[in-house]
Amino acid sequence: MATETVTGLGAVEAFALVGVLGVGAQWLAWRLKLPAIVLMLAAGLVIGPVLGVFDPARDIGDLVQPLISLAVAVILFEGGLTLDLHKLGDARKGVMRLVVIGAPLGWFLSSAALHWGAGLGWEASAVFGGIMVVTGPTVIAPLLRQAKLQKRPANLLQWEAIVNDPVGALAAVLAFEFVLVGREAESLPAALTQLGVGIAIAMAVGIAAGAAISYAFRRAFVPEYMKVPVLFATLLATFAFPNMMLHESGLLAVTVMGLIIANADLPSFEELRRFKEHATILLVSGVFILLASSMDFASLGQLTWRAGLFVALVILVARPLTVLISLIGTGLPRNEKLLIALTGPRGVVLVAVAGLFGERLAQAGVSDGSVIGPLAFVLVLATVVLHGFTLAPVARALGLASKGRPGVLLLGGSRFTTALGELLKREEVPVLVADPNHARLLRPRTAGLPVFYGDILGEAAEDSLEILSFETLIAATENDAYNTLVATDFGSEFGRDQVWQIAREKGERARHSLPSQLGGRPFGAGKTFGELEELMKQGWRITATPLTEDYGFDQWKEDRPHALLLGRLVSGGVFKRFLQEDAELLFPRRAEAAIEALPEDQRETAREALKRRRTDLRLNAARGRMGAGVKLVALVPPESERKRADGLSEGQADGVAEGQAR
């Protein structure tokens, strides 16, 4: 009896592998500060054509193309949902030029580079040239964070990528439909009529769907817990219905739907934003792994030296000409124009849409369609690697990188934040004090600190603040609810570990405690706003003391028995907060005193828990964070400083005083 040889993965195992590798590659890219698309490309190629572990056509079968189509639809909807036209700020004129003039010009120049550089026919060149208008918002965002560009060029690059994302896909859809309809229709007028009707239907469906969702959500016709499911179901229907009339016109419909919702000013938009962010991360990862693992090295073998010529023409001719011509008359400085002209990384949407349309063109009889996918991979890989390594040095050379160290954004103009801001400024750490109360900004303004008057969550802050130049936010106003709101909102922007908040009044009581998802990480030695202000009125000061081989943490602690440690300044001028878990290890007497203050029936449990946490590994790690080269930032009473100075030798006192005065 013959035995059946089982090869490949089952559908469930295949989906699990795609999810793990896609999300894992994005996480690893975040840890290594690399473009995620490079790691996803490598992962897909390794499990696909290199090792043969995963073959989408073999392991998933006929579902591959519908899955990619739906994923691209959601990705383009996310692009439309990001197009809040009110947030363009001073980049509005430049962005509009890059879209209105740059997109058509880039389409033409890219198509020309494909035709005369790569040797493609005009049909395939027109379709692929439209896709190349996209500059990759999923790629440009991490590159901007890494390069720390100034606000205006960063906004221009980011918004160009966001806006041109659906515009490029739309251009590809139009060219693709024109090719298909032109081949199937009996005459050119019939082709144009069919194309126009399909586009009109797609636009109408997208507008109607976006308006219906906006109206239903605003009038509370949909309960909160069903808004995301209703949105997703509407998205699928909006994508599917126009496709029945004209192939791939659903991509245009979902993009328009997202644009309508983005500008409807919905109260529940935050939940929708989270949905599209989470969905896009998953789908971008999945699509790219699927496309990379589907790559056939034999198809890459079709490419000749002309592929290199094509990439060079795109990077050195098509992109610079498109930008420089589009920005004529905008008043932008020459260096900003040059930086934007030399920066045009392509990303996931390009690969996904190119792979999809390339196969469709090949099936329709366009011989060059099979080359579009390999060319897209080569272009994406070349631009991502090139710009990933050159954007930061080019920005510095042109004087467009944010200067100085990572900054600290202080929320609240109190005595405490003013003193902390003055110390950080002396240590050459950029600071900004923001407060919605104008009167509270008098103190930091008098101290010479830069200030922002207004709500840090408002549109004015988005327009006037260079958020990319700040790495840490400290919420320390007298309003606990406002602190919690701002810390929660900025958590996704800065990262939860970089958003800190002083203790809330009654926050330790069970009935007043909040879920861990709300607010920032503890800061300020467990003191509330009122307690910190009282200490400052009593003459407490914030100091920065350098630790050396001769003057270590133990000596510092002995000299300041009552000091409240706030954080530490490490190499590069980065301000790190003092962790609560380190406090109970490095200040055991204070931890014991805190336990003694508990009700008697809770003390034994607290002691046992503390004993379990006091391991040698944790203690060594905590002490390692307090090594030589670190500056300890602490709130100290005035008498402590005098006693400490009296107990040191003259040289030691001078050295520490110099460190505090800097």
Summarize pLDDT for 220-259 with one digit per residue, the tens: 888 877 888 888 889 889 988 887 776 667 777 887 888 8
So what's the pLDDT on residue 12?
84
Nearest to 289 by CA among 281, 299, 298: 281
Exposure pattern of 278-296 as b/e (b: 16+ CB <10 Å)? Answer: ebbbbbbbbbbbbbbbbbe
Summarize pLDDT for 342-370 with one digit per residue, the tens: 888 887 677 777 777 777 777 777 778 77
Summarize pLDDT for 569-595 with one digit per residue, the tens: 887 778 888 887 777 778 877 777 777
What totals of helices (H) and strands (E) does the chain contain, helices first? 31, 10
Q: Read off the pLDDT of each residue in 33-38 and give the average, rounded to a whole number.
A: 70
Q: Going from the N-terminus, what domains does the chain have, and what CATH number goes with each?
A: 11-398 (1.20.1530.20), 404-505+515-538 (3.40.50.720), 540-645 (no CATH)
Q: Which residue has the higher pLDDT, 298 or 448?
A: 448
- Rg over alpha carbons for the chain, rounded to the nearest Å, is 29
DSSP 657: H
Q: Read off the pLDDT of each residue in 109-130 and give the average, rounded to a whole number.
A: 86
CB 441 within 8 A of CB 433: yes
So what's the pLDDT on residue 1?
40
For 474-522, the DSSP string reads: EE--S-HHHHHHHHHHHHHHH-GGGEEEPBPTTTTSGGG---TTSS-EE
CB 158 within 8 A of CB 140: yes
So what's the pLDDT on residue 416?
93
Distance, CA of 121 to CA of 222 (rounded, Å): 50
- Select, from the ranges 457-466, 474-483, 596-605, the one with the highest average predicted confidence (pLDDT): 474-483
For 320-338, the DSSP string reads: HHHHHHHTTTS---HHHHH
Strand partners, 631: 546, 569
Q: Read off the pLDDT of each residue in 134-147 and give the average, rounded to a whole number.
A: 68
- Which residue, chain included where needed, has tokens 């980065």? 574
pLDDT reading at 181 higher than 80: no
So what's the pLDDT on residue 647?
43
pLDDT reading at 651 higher than 60: no
Which residues are CB-contacts of 565 (< 8 A; sequence separation ≥ 6)? 525, 578, 583, 632, 633, 634
- Tokens encoding 304: 């000749």
Distance, CA of 57 to CA of 512 (rounded, Å): 55
So what's the pLDDT on residue 32?
78
Q: Show the 3-state SS of 212-247.
A: HHHHHHHCCCCCHHHHHHHHHHHHHHHHHHHHHHCC
pLDDT reading at 380 higher than 80: yes
Distance, CA of 548 to CA of 405 (rounded, Å): 23
Half-sphere exposure of 104 (CA within 13 A, CB side): 4
Q: Exposed, middle or buried, 512 (CB in 10 Å: 0-12/13-18/19+)? A: exposed
- Tokens encoding 150: 């100034």
Which residues are CB-contacts of 109 (< 8 A; sequence separation ≥ 6)? 317, 318, 321, 322
Distance, CA of 372 to CA of 385 (rounded, Å): 20
Exposure pattern of 208-220 as b/e (b: 16+ CB <10 Å)? Answer: ebbeebbeebeee
- Tokens encoding 265: 């000013």
Q: Which amino acid is at 245?
A: M
- Tokens encoding 560: 């300041």
So what's the pLDDT on residue 512?
60
To 10 degrees, what angle do helices 319-326 and 102-112 make?
A: 160
Summarize pLDDT for 507-556 with one digit per residue, the tens: 666 666 676 667 788 898 888 999 999 999 999 999 999 998 888 888 88
CB 59 within 8 A of CB 14: yes
pLDDT tier for residue 655 given thresholds of 50, 70 and 90: very low
- Tokens encoding 394: 């080019």
Nearest to 23 by CA among 291, 286, 317: 286
Distance, CA of 501 to CA of 520 (rounded, Å): 5
- Tokens encoding 268: 């529940």
So what's the pLDDT on residue 422?
93
Average pLDDT, the chain: 78
pLDDT reading at 659 higher than 60: no
pLDDT reading at 418 higher than 90: yes
Summarize pLDDT for 314-348 with one digit per residue, the tens: 889 989 999 899 888 887 888 888 888 888 888 76
pLDDT reading at 171 higher than 80: no
Q: Return the percentage of the chain with pLDDT > 70, whole number.
A: 80
**If DSSP codes are grouped into helix, strand and coil, which group holds residue 34?**
coil
